[in-house]
Structure 1
Amino acid sequence: MLALLSAFLLWLAWPPFSFTAPLLLIAFIPLLFALEDIMRNNYSRKGQKVFLTAGLTCLVWNTASIYWVFNAMNAILPTIIAMLISLIPFGLGALLMTLAFRLYYQLRKRNNFIISAAGLLSFWISYEFLHQSWDLAFPWMTLGNGFASMHQIIQWYEYTGVYGGTIWIWLSNLFLFQIIYNYRFNKPTKVLVPVIGWGALIVVPIALSLTIYNQYTEHLNPSEIVVVQPNVDPYAKYGSMPVEAQIENLIRLSDSIAAPNTEFFIWPETAIPEMTNEEDIYGSHIYYRLQDFLNKYKNGNLLSGIESYLLYDSAKTTTARSLENGQFVDYFNAAAMFENAGKVQFYHKSKLVPGVEQLPFAGTLSFMKPLFAAFGGTTGGYGRQKEPSVFYSQSGIGAAPVICYESIWGDYVSKYVKEGAQFIAVITNDGWWGNTSGKDQHLDYAKLRAIETRRWVVRSANTGISAFINQRGDIVQQSKWWEPTALKQEINLNEEITFYTNKGDYLAYLGSVASILFLGMILIKLRKRQSN
């Protein structure tokens, strides 16, 4: 029951719920009491019981918060395959979280609470860092993301990123748990001082954040942006509506709200659904139509999602596929920027969805490529580029083309900014998830990128929610779900670099190093025990 209570509090605190995020600061306390009870009583197989109890919390919390993953998978893949792929975020994330508690138990057996708590915090950070770095990456449930619905209280993310939120959550839970435990069982005479200390741990960061939030002023450097939401059903996008008709719809929506001085039009992920050879783009009918559209706008640039490919004479990449004519091809979920001066730039999505857009551990599991190809052709086989690249307009404005899932990586988005991006353009197609909390969470997480980098986030979503987010993380404008529309906003470009942008996920590296040291302690004591 304690494990389920923690799961309930974690779910209730998670976006898109509003004003409940502070529950994260106490949500793990019931679970910590459950684990302490197991460790202090005469249970058999305590390690297994710790694992199963913590695993119940983590699995229920993960599944309740990101249930929409199965909805999307089940709509495009057979049910059994959808269930298996859904295990990546549901089960694997919960498993990694649970391993942190299992290692905490190993420390707790032979060390005091302070050392064990420091180990638990380090192991948790290592799990989060691993789960954003390897081929099965899915950092959606990183603890620091939980404050996205109350961005006013975490303005200090410009210094720490989301890992600062993770550390804050765990320090609060561990500190208050120890206070309550000591009062309940050890009956200390001095309780007021620890309680005041815990209160300061909560109040000081919030007060600092609110001060930053209220005093933050954007430097005036205006640029007019139009985002378009065409509202094309993603499951009927291919075949039911001609490419030309989809492009004309996008142009019509753009023209309906644009002004002669509009500098950027932002269209969503895969807005141009025709598979396009990047090397032949200047001769394509799409290119000529888009140039006609942009000729009406003196400084106009179009940043759009597009499906593209490149042909090679040899297998230049691990994702290249052989063709019957002896050539090789790479397909991309890409972004392209068209200038009214004629230049076209391409960016290839780097953070690919495991199992859907890429085959995890492709070198080791290359024998499974035919299986993935059988479920959708390009499934598991998109090409990618390793590092982000910035689109520069003819007037020198730098735009970050962030495609869908990539907006979850704070460190990756910050690399665009270090390369010169003055605003962030998130292009996405959240319609795959339907009218679930997935689209709302995705929107909320974009606010974190605005705070970390102090850049406007301009969000174009095919079916919603499209939005403009300022440098404080406020949503200035947003669309409704599932309606065709266009939004126009004058944003402020920014060239300043925040501490987090400059240093990246330094807290994750420190936590990972600490976890190695704590793991070494566990192994040394296990070896001593075996030798005795």
Structure 2
Amino acid sequence: MIKKLLLTLLSALLFALPWWGAGGWSLFFAFVPLLVLGDMRPRFYWAWAALAFTLWNIGTTWWVGIATPVATFGIPIGSLFFTLLPFLIFHWFRFRAPRPVGWALFVTLWIAFEALFMNNEISFPWLTLGYGFADTPRLVQWYELTGSFGGSLWVLVGNILFYLLWKNRRERPWRAALPAILWIVVPVGASLIRYATYEERGNPVEVAVVQPNIDPYDEKFDGMTAAQQRDRILGLAAQAPRNADFILTPETAFDGDFWVNDLNRNAEIDTLRRFMGRFPDATLIAGATTFLRYDDGMPHRRWTRTDPLWGVSYDVYNSALGITAGDPRVQVYHKSKLVVGAELFPYPKVFGMLKFLNIDLGGISGSLGMQERRTLMTNPEGIRAGVAICYESVYGEFFTEYVRRGAQVMFVITNDGWWGDTPGYRHHFSYARLRAVETRRAIARSANTGISGLIDQRGEVIDSVGWDERALLAGRINANDTLTPYVRGGDYIVRLSLLVLGLCLLYYVAWRFRKRSLLLEEE
């Protein structure tokens, strides 16, 4: 009993360490204690595995519950399904299928479920194994080839090799040690060489990032008026260099009844446009809550709301607005990867009875509208920028769509203040560093309460503003037009995994049928 418990706790600890700031190294051994425990064939093995994965999830994502107690239970339960189920399916095949098939299923099942967790409406890919190296991007410069799922593949195969090293520790250990060592050393060495030799092209873009530090609980909706918040933001933005190309503000920074049907007649837009007269070559990227009013006969969307008093149907969006002095157009992009519970009620036909659990983060609770395709913001000089709003920077292949559509630099605008001074905002900032490596796009990040910063194309932080600081950060990042293999191919690691998974299952069925036929012939 004690041995089983120690193995379970060790596995949970090894999984959690990268999200506690210890780097991703422990992930290469995180499954090994569970595999060793599986060799013992204990009763209720599923319970030991469930305990390990649950402790990993709670130990690294507990901070989500600060915004709502529902998430304290909902996130671990959802995450447990997408971690425990593939592992138990592998465990069932492990002792029933040929060994190579079992190990192939271990890798492909896990990657398939990671991708499933990333691409459904109950999505929280925070603990994708490849994200464990977010604080050390110089070790995974090859993500420009594979994306973060390449990191998951790296970790999973590494666990197999170190498990086999443990199994063969008494007989020819070096024969098992060499593949395990090379599996880590070769990618790391190649990455360090790429890091040292990578050169950004000299296409400078001057960016000013506003961090207003407006508390989302005590100031955003109660302690300060919308005008006071606007004045604080513009007071900081006024300190930007006159040659700025872009000025960034955080997610939902401005409130002004922004109806996209007639933005050009909006008084708040006029105020912002007049302010930008100080920066004639710049575009303001303004985070805002916007609305779309439906005319009679227009088809409604799943997220369309109707005011019963006035009989008006409308959509609500979490948007980025691009505003330039002298330009009557307002560029608009609507956030499309929405936070479950706060901005998206998943699968309403299935979970409709649970709508009362919706999280209210700032008066825009309920399902928000989404935009099918990414659109870019362009400044007067023609520089093209993609604007990922908050959660969108967590999704690798989604992020690449901005770049495929022509983004030369990337911006992230967010408000991580809902979760206080916890590890969540630090994880979120680090994931942007991985996106920079995958796409080779420099990133400017505006966060309401921190961390705001500038990140170069190697994923290194040029400059940043920490938590709970009010500041304007100005600096230079380089534009890039080159497309990386990952941008071109997307998550092909997932597609290959699904192909191999299907072939393994077909092989297993054929193998079992042939084995059974041979037994019948012998009788």
* Local SS of the residue matching 1:251: helix
Are 1:450 and 2:433 counterparts? Answer: no
Distance 1:59 1:341 in 2: 55
Select 1:332's aligned residue among 317, 342, 352.
Answer: 317
Moved more, 409-418 or 514-523: 514-523
Does residue 260 of structure 2 align to residue 278 of structure 1? yes
Partner of 1:78: none
- Structure 2 gaps of 5+ residues are 1-5
Whether the 8 Å contact between 2:164 and 2:176 is mirrored in structure 1 is no
Which of 184, 198, 217 in structure 1 is aligned with 2:180? Answer: 198
Matched, 1:239 2:222: yes
Structure 1 residue 318 and structure 2 residue 316: aligned? no
> Which amino acid in the other structure matches residue 25 of structure 2?
P
Structure 1 residues 263 and 410 mapped into 2: Cα distance closer, same or farther (>3 Å)? same
- For the residue of structure 2 that corresponds to 1:459, the secondary structure is strand
1:493 is displaced (CA, Å) by 0.6
For residue 64 of structure 2, what is the aligned residue in structure 1? 69
Please state how far the C-alpha of 1:529 moved relative to its aligned partner. Answer: 11
Provide the residue aligned with 1:79 in structure 2.
Answer: none
> What is the alpha-carbon distance in structure 2 between the residues aligned to residue 494 and residue 228 of structure 1?
23
Letter in 2 for 1:11: A
C-alpha displacement at 1:111, in angstroms? 2.1
Per-residue deviation, 1:482: 0.5
Which amino acid letter does the alignment assign opposite residue 214 of structure 2? V
Give yes or no for contact 1:16–1:441 (8 Å, CA) kept in 2: no
Q: State the Cα deviation string for residues 210-230 of structure 1 (Å, max 9, x = none).
A: 000000110000110000000
Shift of the 377–298 alpha-carbon distance from structure 1 to 2, 3 Å rule, reads closer
Query: What is the correspondence of 1:167-316 to structure 2 with a 5 Å cutoff?
Result: 167-184=153-170, 188=171, 190-236=172-218, 237-256=220-239, 258-313=240-295, 314-316=298-300
**Alpha-carbon distance in 1 for matches of 2:322, 2:363:** 26
Counterpart of 1:347 in 2: which secondary structure? strand
Tell me by how many angstroms 1:119 deviates.
Answer: 0.5
Secondary structure at the aligned position of 1:309 is classed as strand
How far the C-alpha of 1:110 sits from its partner, in A, is 1.5
Write out aligned runs for 1:96-495 (5 A). Answer: 96-184=82-170, 188=171, 190-236=172-218, 237-256=220-239, 258-313=240-295, 314-324=298-308, 325-342=310-327, 343-366=329-352, 369=355, 372=358, 378-495=364-481
Change in Cα spacing, 1:22 to 1:374, as seen in structure 2 (3 Å) is: closer
- 1:273-317 alpha-carbon deviations (Å, 9 max, x no partner): 334211222122211111121101120110021001001134421
**Cα distance in 1 for residues equivalent to 2:65 and 2:512:** 40
Secondary structure of 1:15's counterpart equals helix
CA contact (8 A) 1:221 1:494 kept: yes
- Tell whether the 8 Å contact from 2:24 to 2:132 is kept in structure 1 after alignment: yes
Would you say 1:7 and 2:12 are equivalent positions?
yes
Given that 1:390 and 1:398 are in contact with CA atoms closer than 8 Å, whether structure 2 keeps it comes out as yes
Partner of 1:56: 51
Q: Which residue of 1 aligns with 2:38?
A: 35
Query: 210-219 or 322-331: which moved more?
Result: 322-331
| SS of 2:468 mapped into structure 1 | coil
Deviation at 1:89, TM superposition (A): 2.3
Q: CA deviation at 1:15?
A: 3.0
**In the alignment, what sits opposite 1:25?**
28
Equivalent residues of 1:16, 1:440 under 8 A apart: no
The yes-or-no answer on 1:505 pairing with 2:470 is no
Give, in whole Å, the separation in 2 of the partners of 1:528 and 1:322.
61
With 304-313 and 360-369 compared, the bigger mean Cα shift is at: 360-369
The 1:233/1:528 distance shift into structure 2, 3 A limit, reads: farther
1:93 correspondence with 2:75: no
Contact between 1:356 and 1:380, CA under 8 Å: does it hold in 2? yes
Shift of 1:253: 0.5
Provide the rounded CA distance (Å) in 2 between the counterparts of 1:286 and 1:341: 15
SS at 1:472 equivalent: coil
- Number of matched residues? 508
Q: Is the 8 A contact 1:345 1:391 kept in 2?
A: yes
Distance 1:363 1:224, change over 3 A: same
- How many angstroms apart in 2 are the aligned matches of 1:521 and 1:275? 59
In structure 1, the partner of 2:3 is none
Give the alignment's TM-score, normalised by structure 1: 0.91
Native 8 Å contact 2:121 2:347 kept in 1: yes
TM-aligned CA deviation for residue 57 of structure 1: 1.1
CA distances 1:324-371 after superposition (whole Å, capped 9, x unpaired): 333311001111110113221111110011121111013444565577
